[in-house]
Amino acid sequence: MIELVQGDITKVEQIDAIVNAANSSLLGGGGVDGAIHRAAGEELLFECRLLGGCKTGQAKITKAYKLPCKRIIHTVGPVWNGGSHNEDQLLADCYINSLKLAIENQIRTIAFPSISTGIYSFPVARAAKIAVHTVDQFLKEHPGCFDRVLWVLFDKNTKESYQKEVDLIEKNLDLADSVTESRQTDLQVFACFFQSVIEQDRSAVVICNLEHEIIYMNPSAIENYRKWGGRELLGQSLLNCHNQQSRDKIEKVIEWFKTSKEHNMVYTFYNQKQNKDVYMVALRDQDRLIGYYEKHEYRNAETMKFYDLW
């Protein structure tokens, strides 16, 4: 969605709005401001006179008059003063406030110049980093609000600085994609092993997500709970299979699981009739709690003979 071109911002076609790197009087000046006022015509100055100026980091909007776009967003970049006078934040504010104003005015395509890096002397590499990362973050926080964000950069050196930052963002995205892909493959492979561990277990295993929805039952669970519907229980709430007292306890355990990644197992019940211990166990994706299951441990002596194969 972020694009870069080298050129003159007053000549850009098929764009809803362009951004002007103005000064706080909003009454025109040199650089890109001068070029925009010249190209838009003197009516722009008449409208700007009514705006009462603009503070550094803020933005105001006007019509575009003779320019090919529909609107102009005027923002005032910080004058570079060594870097310790809040220049970075004020520059980021210019981009954020321009984009906010654009959304309020249904602007979906917008072109920026390199704010502050001309007459206001902000170092280009530092400005490019702030500009590109601020806009990228804003677009992520406001998905679907823009169709195109373009920088029109006057000279080759400035364009190269911005290109470096855009490349970095794309590289990070690729990296995130490839990590996700390889993790998915790992999970598919591991899932086969985990599935056989669970499926041969002679105790019932019922796995629930955090909404208490039963998402998996092993063959023993289907057999054990046949009386209550067996496989039909899949998709139903585990809470519906318990009385109010047990429901409260289940909810409490889940809250305890949530408070620490070290909280993973609770002894919940001794079933005398079946002579078994029951535990609730947390299920996690890395550290994130994603569900839970009930673990049944029978105390009965094993009845199967050793190596009962022949």
Q: Which positions are annotated as active-site residues?
A: 33
Nearest approach, Cβ of residue 123 and ligand AR6 (Å): 11
Beta carbons within 10 angstroms of residue 131's beta carbon? 26
* The token pair that represents 161 in the structure block: 């600085």
Contacts (Cβ under 8 Å, ≥6 apart) of 99: 110, 135, 138, 142, 146
Report the residue number, 155 or 177, with the smaller CB distance to ligand AR6. Answer: 155
Nearer to ligand AR6, 16 or 294 (CB): 16
* Cα separations in angstroms, 173 against 128, 165, 185: 19, 13, 19
Q: How many CB atoms lie within 10 A of CB 89?
A: 13
Q: Strand 2-6's sheet: what is its strand order? A: 2-6, 148-153, 109-112, 17-22, 71-76, 59-63
Smallest distance, ligand AR6 to C-beta of residue 81, A: 13
Please name every residue paired with 189 in a beta bridge, in sequence order, or none if there are none: none
Nearer to ligand AR6, 166 or 254 (CB): 166
Nearest to 111 by CA among 57, 73, 149: 149
The residues that touch ligand AR6, with contacts defined as CB under 6 A, are 8-10, 21-23, 29-33, 35, 77, 113-120, 152, 154-155, 158
Report how far residue 272's alpha carbon sits from residue 227's, in angstroms, rounded to the nearest whole number: 20
Between 17 and 282, whose beta carbon lies closer to ligand AR6?
Answer: 17
Which residue number, 48 or 238, has a Cβ lying nearer to ligand AR6? Answer: 48
Least distance in angstroms from the C-beta of 132 to ligand AR6: 14
Q: What is the DSSP letter of 174?
A: H
Shortest distance, position 153 Cβ to ligand AR6, whole Å: 6
**Shortest distance (Å) from residue 68 CB to ligand AR6:** 13
56 Cβ contact partners less than 8 Å away, ≥ 6 residues apart: 24, 76, 77, 78, 90
